[in-house]
Copies of this chain bind each other. A is one copy, B any other.
């Protein structure tokens, strides 16, 4: 099937075409870039909801309940579950969910797992692109589900309009983990298994943390990142215009197994989306997201170009030999390899 036909069929609502497009995106098959390029103009109508939290917090069950509730309301749903399993041991999570998805047996919920087969960096681009496919297809709600709260999971979940973080009750450790980065990106905290001991304390602790954050001048999230990985550019990140009437993260309680609290959770999402729209933050976020997307693509393309260049120049083996013999060192080699590239990039701009 040609790319144009594939796009046509996807836009016409054929789930098979949607699945094939996402597979091409996931595998970075030849031509996938053109596909995603062409999808872009058809996007912008879906509501994207991100869910993250440590393993065992009940994400899968909650997402299933969310999906069926939306479906009952007549809305179509796409779910992308990011499986962080390593290539060595991976597969369990993914397998379980595919089984679950087939039990739903209803194509109004399109469920798709993507695994971290390569680096998680690449997965963040693949997620963004898969969301575009679901959006162009016409799904009303797109749920992006990731396990864990590491830096890369944060990058992935940032593709969402509304970021929900699941917190298991009574877990002092988890609150500590939350401090390390996740608080800044959460729009809604969901204390799931709210019938368990310690749930009230967890809700209280979360509310305290939110109040403390609000008192801090550094509060802010969703900032577009710089291309440069330096130790000194992180501190300069500031938020534009949400200081005064900023979003204060909501804390909701759910019992995903029974469905209790799910309506309230969806209500909180609706409120957040309304705030995004009224405050103008929706466009701010869109701009930041496109900026991050372009920069990520440029970074990937440049890395690929560099890898090609290294092969064309005979690889690094002989350089590494010299480093081992202490005749040179990694920084000197990097400088030597970069010099001609820096020269020619500068020249290309000055004499177009």
Q: Is the beta-carbon distance between A230 and B122 smaller than 8 angstroms?
A: yes
Whole-angstrom distance between the alpha carbons of A342 and B341 in the complex? 10
- Interface flag for A74 (CB, 8 Å): no
- Interface flag for A190 (CB, 8 Å): no
- Interface flag for A16 (CB, 8 Å): no
B contact residues around A34 at 8 Å (CB): 331
Q: Provide the A291-302 mask, 1 if CB < 8 A to any CB of B, else 0.
A: 101110111111
B contact residues around A301 at 8 Å (CB): 334, 338
Q: Is the beta-carbon distance between B340 and A297 smaller than 8 angstroms?
A: no
Q: Provide the A55-77 mask, 1 if CB < 8 A to any CB of B, else 0.
A: 11000000000000000000000
* SS class, residues of chain A in contact with chain B: helix
Q: Which of B126, B297, B304, B320 contacts A290 (CB 8 A)?
A: B320
Interface size class of A (residues with CB under 8 A): 35 or more
- Interface flag for A337 (CB, 8 Å): yes
Q: Is the beta-carbon distance between B55 and A176 smaller than 8 angstroms?
A: yes
Q: Which of B36, B234, B303 contacts A302 (CB 8 A)?
A: B303
- Interface flag for A13 (CB, 8 Å): no
- Interface flag for A96 (CB, 8 Å): no
- Interface flag for A286 (CB, 8 Å): yes
Chain A residues within CB distance 8 Å of chain B: 26-28, 33-34, 36-37, 40-41, 44, 54-56, 84-90, 92, 116-123, 125-126, 147-148, 150-153, 172-173, 176-177, 179-181, 183-184, 213, 216, 218-220, 225-235, 237, 283, 286-287, 290-291, 293-295, 297-307, 309-310, 312-313, 316, 319-320, 323-324, 326, 328-335, 337-338, 340-345, 347-349, 352
Query: Sorted from nearest, which 7 A-B pairs have the closest CB atoms?
Result: A150-B150, A40-B329, A297-B334, A118-B234, A122-B229, A121-B229, A344-B344
